[in-house]
Amino acid sequence: MTAKDFTTGGIVRQIVMLALPIMGTAFIQMAYNMTDMIWIGHVGSQAAAAVGAAGFFLWLGNSLVYTTKVGAEVGISQSLGAKDNQRASFFASHAMVIAIVVSIIYGVLLLVFSKQLIGFFGFKDAAVVAKGISYLQIIAMGMLFTFLNSTFSGIYNGTGKSRIPFYANAIGLAVNILLDPVLIYGMGPFPRLEVAGAAIATVISQAIVTLIFVINLSDTKSPFPFIFKKFALLKDVTKQVFKVGLPVTLQSGLFAIFAMNIARIVTQFGDLAVAVQSVGAQIEAISWMTASGFATALASFIGQNYGANQFGRIRQAYYTTLGITMIFGVFTTVAFVFFGETIFGWFIPEPEAMREGGIYLQILGASQLFMILEIITAGAFNGTGKTMPPSIVGIVFTGLRVPAAIALTATIGLAGAWWSISASSMIKGVVLFVWFAFFLLRLPIERQKLTLPQKLFFQFLPNRMRQSDIEGTIE
């Protein structure tokens, strides 16, 4: 099996080289939805609202797949760091089997309850409801490909081979870009399908990505060429996949549910408000996906070094990654705050939509740096296998968005919903950063060079706690 070793060598170069393909893959995943939104947005805000509503359930599906994606990334990287290649292979095969089972169950649920799920948003326009149901049913039939592609990406990221998911998803995106206008507007022999056409294009392109992964994994040069050979369900591996991945799934899944509830709250301001939230979130994803790419790279890097007990490299990698991503955060903040309305107009070129979308981006622009802080820190926690802290912080403060949105929209209108999102991001970033800073201080001190603030911190620790750290206890 071929995999990259991150326990030695230059930290900055390794993280950047690993992050760039992951980030590219993340942007490609985002571009699927963004391409759909660009074409659908020109059909009208009605169609954009329908796709946006159905998109929440695709988001929820992507949350479920975090169990196998993160479970594979962390399990494989830590096993490779401990030089246990066979266990790394077990994590890969178990993640794939779990992904297949869960995707089939979730896809069937979406098909059976599509009417009720779209009805949750309480749209006043029957046409929006019908379009949303159509989009959701088609997407449901391709849910297997969505789950498999994310899990495949997690497997390759865990081995440090992040370029393969990038290339596979790039081909899929190219297919989606070609099919979208053809199927949405009807070109040549194809009829005009609008919302349904966007969904069909996405499913076809995702199926092609899955085929590329399957072909590549069957190659003897791939990290796990015989992934299912003599497969037997191992209790400890399965337990570890769920132990690591479930907190991330729970956090992301509840995040989607909270977002759906906010969407339901903003429908009182009209269906356009839901379109603004959906499209605005797609635009904001530029910042989110960049940070997520680096966070995933950091998780793989830390996973290997944590498994190899290279604790000094963990600390250095974390602060280095923060520095790199914060620079990007400054640019997105400026773009959203000063050019938000223009940017939103690229997606829905309607005056009222541009005005409301500009307000959304300006408000969310205030929290971009804090959002990046939260995502990078969550990636660092994930690499150590301690996925519970970011899940706790994410669930608690994201959950508070719903009552905050209810209270703020009653006082300052639609902008109150956007402020509930932005303010919670600020709080989450600060809380999680402080939590991880204390975790770093608890790593064995003989393995890392302490900064002055850390030295001062240890002076105030009780002797018993200080001694446990010196002896190498990790808590």
Q: Bigger pLDDT: 395 or 270?
A: 395
Per the structure block, which two tokens stand in for 54?
């159905």
Q: Bigger pLDDT: 279 or 428?
A: 428
How is 179-219 classified by DSSP, letter by letter? HHHIIIII-TTS---THHHHHHHHHHHHHHHHHHHHHHHTS
Residue 113 has pLDDT above 70, yes or no: yes
Residue 404 pLDDT grade (very low, low, confident, very high; cuts 50, 70, 90): very high
- Rounded mean pLDDT of 159-175? 83
Residue 429 pLDDT grade (very low, low, confident, very high; cuts 50, 70, 90): very high
How is 382-395 classified by DSSP, letter by letter? HHTT--HHHHHHHH
Of 423, 457, 464, the closest CA to residue 437 belongs to 457
pLDDT of residue 15: 81
Which of 146-150, 216-220, 350-354 holds the top average pLDDT? 146-150
Residue 453 has pLDDT above 60, yes or no: no
Residue 433 has pLDDT above 90, yes or no: yes
- The whole-angstrom separation of Cα 66 and Cα 251 is 10
Per the structure block, which two tokens stand in for 256?
């989607």
Contact 249, 66 (CB under 8 A): yes
pLDDT of residue 440: 83
pLDDT of residue 104: 93
Per the structure block, which two tokens stand in for 68?
């196998």
pLDDT of residue 469: 42
Contact 271, 414 (CB under 8 A): no
- The whole-angstrom separation of Cα 113 and Cα 133 is 9
- The whole-angstrom separation of Cα 54 and Cα 85 is 41
Helix spans in 120-192 (H) = 126-140, 143-158, 163-181
pLDDT of residue 280: 82
Mean pLDDT over the full length of the chain:
80
pLDDT of residue 156: 82
Contact 358, 333 (CB under 8 A): no
Residue 427 pLDDT grade (very low, low, confident, very high; cuts 50, 70, 90): very high
Residue-wise pLDDT for 310-339, tens only, equals 787 888 888 889 888 898 889 999 999 898
Least confident segment among 16-20, 236-240, 399-403: 16-20
Compute how many other C-beta atoms are within 10 angstroms of the C-beta atom of residue 460. 7
Q: Given the structure tokens 């059976």, which residue do they identify?
A: 112
- The whole-angstrom separation of Cα 110 and Cα 199 is 14
Least confident segment among 150-159, 430-439, 444-453: 444-453
Contact 293, 22 (CB under 8 A): yes
Distance of CA 275 to the CA centre of its chain: 21
pLDDT of residue 281: 79
pLDDT cut 70: percent of the chain above it: 85
Least confident segment among 11-25, 363-377, 387-401: 11-25
- Rounded mean pLDDT of 102-112? 92
Residue 64 pLDDT grade (very low, low, confident, very high; cuts 50, 70, 90): confident
Residue 374 pLDDT grade (very low, low, confident, very high; cuts 50, 70, 90): very high
Least confident segment among 51-60, 142-151, 201-210, 386-395: 51-60
- The whole-angstrom separation of Cα 409 and Cα 344 is 22
- The whole-angstrom separation of Cα 278 and Cα 347 is 11
pLDDT of residue 383: 82
Burial 283-296 (b: 16+ CB within 10 A, else e): bbbbbbbbbbbbbb
pLDDT of residue 85: 74
Residue-wise pLDDT for 351-373, tens only, equals 888 888 889 999 999 999 999 99
pLDDT of residue 34: 66
Residue 128 pLDDT grade (very low, low, confident, very high; cuts 50, 70, 90): confident
- Rounded mean pLDDT of 28-56? 70
Domain positions in the chain are: 11-441
Q: Bigger pLDDT: 41 or 181?
A: 181
Compute how many other C-beta atoms are within 10 angstroms of the C-beta atom of residue 440. 15
Compute how many other C-beta atoms are within 10 angstroms of the C-beta atom of residue 342. 13
Compute how many other C-beta atoms are within 10 angstroms of the C-beta atom of residue 422. 19
